[in-house]
């Protein structure tokens, strides 16, 4: 029997965006927020006020849990039908409540910081707070490194229309241009996929030319948004006494600078190996040398197609060889209709996995078109759902993990399934195509993202002295790309700083290195899984469960027995990935010989 390709939302709140149960739920949440906002915080921490402190903290967690439930559900509604106006309206309500939760935690955090150490440690020794001590300490430490609470509150209020305003302005500027390409009107997003993914090199080149030309036309206001946003950030950090631009993103990722430096040094030393891949790929594409618009171009053949039922079987069967628990979980999620996979108009693009904490379930959103890529997306998102699944019995304060480790389970699943697809491939052309997608990931994480990190680091250094012109930004970008791509391309993309949304995200600064970190971290976990076989299953679960309760170095030490601040772990992870280069080159040569 064919599987259902649509998800079940009715068992969560029946009736979609008009669900009376959903509206009641959100109204009650809104009322409970108001109660929390109007309640004074408990007095100085001591034996008489401890119970009150515990209650106040529990209320904040509970509001967060329920908000997450509402946000996840409404997120599902707006994704499955872009014309659901009622859902969009609810989404805006949720955003406002999320801001209120943020304010609540800012106050709590500041209050934590004011309590004496001994009373604080006694408080955290009591259940249920002992299980979330890591998170509460983290919040307290953060407040201690910031300015006085009234100054932080002022900065926060000013940031709403200042700092974050630059991000919104960028959204407006970058969403504006419509282009005509090949006689068809297109958004810049569509043009970008022509320049990266079109099989025809002339089409890619023409799309790239138009892409650069279009961004050049709006580069001035983009540069202004970037300069002003960065100026705001630098001023705020100065007032907090923070001397490193990386302090905030490292804190967000529970990582130290030594680990990050160790990772980048190993990548810098080893990524030149990818130039062999560049050369082989250039030959396949009929280019003398790769240009920017060639780096992600498809090679080989990818005409194999799967029904959704076949894809689900392929994913589950191959996960089972590695770990029966992930397979059983995935089968359950598929059969219980946690996945929206149908290919129909009116859905949003992309894929995600979202958790419904009150049901201890997840929902996966994607559009399955039958391609090998769709197979990978299914495996990837099921990995996120599994990560959530093994953590549901933990309290909310122990379930918050950073972006750096968020992709551990998803990339792990993807690796298992991609390797299986490679084994199952029927021809050299298919094998080439699968290996190329793996190596394109390596380009993306080891070169492309590295160039973004190098650019952003250099930009902030210069910006501390003065605003940068469009030409100066272009020059910094190209310099970073030349370094990261080892001078291996004939053309670069100097206006990348304008075209990439990530540089303008104010809520998560340096929205780049956590991707590379997660990719290599997952590669390290996979290496261990391969080495240990079935014994790894319970270890894997223990690692995933601890992602919300340990700093990243401690997590790696405890569960992988490795030191992230030293090069060894990174060397193994990078070597594993780059081992595919020689296989790819050998396959290309075989292909060439058999054609002759
Ligand atoms: Zn993911």
Predicted confidence (pLDDT) per residue in 226-243, tens digit: 999 999 999 999 999 999
> 472-510 pLDDT, tens per residue?
999 999 999 999 999 999 999 999 999 999 999 998 999
- Would you say residue 264 lies in a domain? no
> 351-409 pLDDT, tens per residue?
899 999 999 999 999 999 998 889 999 999 999 999 999 999 999 999 999 999 999 99
Instruction: Find the 203 Cα to ligand 1 centroid distance in Å.
Output: 30
Instruction: Find the 293 Cα to ligand 1 centroid distance in Å.
Output: 25
- Would you say residue 102 lies in a domain? yes
Instruction: Find the 503 Cα to ligand 1 centroid distance in Å.
Output: 19
580: CB partners within 8 A, 6+ apart: 435, 438, 439, 442
Instruction: Find the 238 Cα to ligand 1 centroid distance in Å.
Output: 34
Instruction: Find the 381 Cα to ligand 1 centroid distance in Å.
Output: 6
Tell me: pLDDT of 128 over 90.
yes
Q: Would you state the pLDDT for residue 592?
A: 52
Rounded distance between C-alpha atoms, residue 444 and residue 343, angstroms = 27
70: CB partners within 8 A, 6+ apart: 22, 25, 26, 29, 94, 97
- Would you say residue 8 lies in a domain? no
pLDDT tier at 300 (50, 70, 90 boundaries)? Answer: confident
Tell me: pLDDT of 335 over 90.
yes
- Would you say residue 26 lies in a domain? yes
Instruction: Find the 380 Cα to ligand 1 centroid distance in Å.
Output: 6
Instruction: Find the 353 Cα to ligand 1 centroid distance in Å.
Output: 8
596: CB partners within 8 A, 6+ apart: none
Instruction: Find the 570 Cα to ligand 1 centroid distance in Å.
Output: 21
Final residue in a domain of this structure, among 81, 110, 145 = 145
CB-based contact 528:536 (threshold 8 Å): yes
Instruction: Find the 124 Cα to ligand 1 centroid distance in Å.
Output: 33
- Would you say residue 289 lies in a domain? no
CB-based contact 432:330 (threshold 8 Å): no
Other CB atoms within 10 Å distance of the CB of residue 83: 8
Instruction: Find the 193 Cα to ligand 1 centroid distance in Å.
Output: 20
Instruction: Find the 409 Cα to ligand 1 centroid distance in Å.
Output: 9
% residues pLDDT > 70 (the chain): 99
Tell me: pLDDT of 19 over 90.
yes
Domain with residue 37: its CATH number is 1.20.140.70
User: Is the Cα torsion angle 59, 65, 69, 72 positive or negative in sign?
Assistant: positive
Q: Would you state the pLDDT for residue 591?
A: 67
pLDDT tier at 17 (50, 70, 90 boundaries)? Answer: very high
> 73-101 pLDDT, tens per residue?
999 999 999 899 999 999 999 989 998 99
Q: Would you state the pLDDT for residue 304?
A: 82
Q: What is the mean pLDDT of the chain?
A: 95
- Would you say residue 327 lies in a domain? yes
Q: What are phi and psi of 147, to 5 degrees?
A: -75, 180
Q: Would you state the pLDDT for residue 372?
A: 87
DSSP letters for 84-146: -HHHHHHHHHHHHHHHHHHHHHHHHHHHHHHS-HHHHHHHHHSTTGGGGHHHHHHHHHHHHTS
Instruction: Find the 133 Cα to ligand 1 centroid distance in Å.
Output: 27
Domain with residue 327: its CATH number is 3.40.390
Instruction: Find the 458 Cα to ligand 1 centroid distance in Å.
Output: 28
Count up the domains in the chain and report the number. Answer: 2
Final residue in a domain of this structure, among 122, 145, 168 = 145
Final residue in a domain of this structure, among 125, 145, 165 = 145
Domain range enclosing 113: 16-145
- Would you say residue 101 lies in a domain? yes
pTM of the model as a whole: 0.93
Closest CA to 372 of 306, 313, 310, 439: 306
pLDDT tier at 594 (50, 70, 90 boundaries)? Answer: very low
Reduced to 3 states, what is the DSSP secondary structure of residue 337? coil
Instruction: Find the 37 Cα to ligand 1 centroid distance in Å.
Output: 34
Tell me: pLDDT of 63 over 50.
yes
Query: What's the average model confidence in pLDDT over 204-223?
Result: 97
Q: Would you state the pLDDT for residue 596?
A: 37
CB-based contact 212:257 (threshold 8 Å): no
Instruction: Find the 10 Cα to ligand 1 centroid distance in Å.
Output: 25
Tell me: pLDDT of 196 over 90.
yes
Residue 397 CB burial class (10 angstroms; 0-12, 13-18, ≥19): buried
- Would you say residue 157 lies in a domain? no
């Amino acid at each position: 029997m064919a599987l259902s390709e649509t998800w079940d939302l009715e068992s969560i709140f029946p009736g979609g965006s008009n669900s009376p149960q959903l509206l009641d739920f959100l109204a009650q949440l809104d009322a409970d927020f108001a109660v929390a906002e109007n309640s004074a915080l408990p007095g100085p921490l001591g034996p008489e006020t401890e119970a009150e402190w515990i209650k106040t903290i529990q209320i904040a967690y509970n509001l967060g849990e329920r908000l997450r439930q509402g946000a996840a559900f409404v997120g599902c509604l707006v994704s499955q039908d872009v014309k659901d106006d009622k859902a969009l309206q609810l989404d805006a309500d949720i955003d406002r409540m999320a801001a209120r939760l943020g304010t609540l935690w800012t106050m709590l955090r500041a209050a934590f910081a004011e309590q004496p150490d001994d009373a604080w440690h006694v408080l955290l020794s009591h259940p249920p707070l002992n299980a979330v001590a890591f998170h509460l300490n983290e919040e307290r430490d953060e407040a201690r490194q910031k300015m006085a609470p009234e100054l932080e509150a002022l900065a926060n209020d000013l940031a709403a229309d200042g700092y974050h305003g630059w991000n919104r302005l960028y959204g407006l500027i970058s969403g504006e241009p419509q282009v005509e390409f090949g006689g068809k009107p297109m958004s810049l997003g569509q043009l970008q996929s022509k320049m990266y993914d079109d099989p025809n090199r002339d089409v890619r080149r023409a799309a790239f030319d138009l892409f650069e030309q279009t961004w050049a036309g709006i580069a001035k206001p983009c540069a202004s948004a970037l300069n002003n946003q960065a100026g705001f950030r630098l001023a705020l950090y100065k007032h907090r006494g923070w001397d490193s631009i990386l302090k905030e993103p490292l804190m967000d990722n529970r990582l130290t600078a030594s680990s990050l430096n160790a990772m980048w040094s190993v990548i810098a030393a080893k990524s030149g190996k990818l130039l062999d891949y560049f050369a082989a790929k250039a030959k396949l594409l009929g280019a003398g040398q790769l240009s920017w618009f060639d780096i992600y171009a498809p090679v080989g053949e990818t005409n194999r197609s799967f029904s959704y039922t076949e894809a689900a079987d392929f994913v589950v069967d191959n996960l089972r060889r590695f770990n029966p628990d992930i397979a059983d979980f995935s089968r359950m999620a598929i059969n219980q209709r946690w996945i929206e996979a149908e290919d129909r108009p009116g859905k949003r693009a992309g894929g995600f996995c979202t958790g419904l904490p009150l049901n201890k379930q997840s929902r996966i959103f994607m559009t399955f078109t039958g391609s090998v890529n769709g197979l990978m997306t299914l495996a990837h998102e099921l990995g996120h759902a599994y990560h959530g699944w093994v953590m549901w019995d933990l309290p909310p304060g122990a379930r918050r993990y950073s972006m750096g480790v968020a992709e551990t389970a998803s990339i792990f699943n993807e690796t298992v399934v991609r390797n299986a697809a490679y084994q199952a491939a029927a021809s050299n052309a298919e094998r080439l195509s699968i290996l190329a997608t793996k190596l394109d990931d390596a380009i993306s994480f080891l070169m492309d993202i590295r160039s973004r990190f190098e650019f952003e680091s250099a930009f902030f250094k210069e910006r501390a002295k003065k605003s940068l012109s469009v030409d100066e930004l272009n020059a910094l970008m190209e310099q970073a790309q030349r370094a990261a791509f080892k001078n291996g391309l004939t053309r670069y993309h100097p206006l990348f700083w304008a075209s990439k949304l990530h540089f303008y995200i104010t809520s998560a600064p340096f929205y780049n290195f956590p991707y590379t970190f997660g990719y290599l971290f997952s590669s390290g976990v996979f290496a261990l899984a391969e080495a240990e076989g079935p014994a790894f299953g319970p270890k894997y679960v223990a690692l995933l469960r601890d992602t919300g309760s340990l700093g990243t170095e401690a997590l790696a030490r405890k569960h992988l027995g490795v030191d992230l601040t030293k090069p060894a772990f990174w060397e193994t992870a990078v070597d594993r990935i780059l081992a595919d280069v020689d296989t790819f080159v050998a396959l290309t040569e075989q292909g060439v010989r058999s054609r002759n």
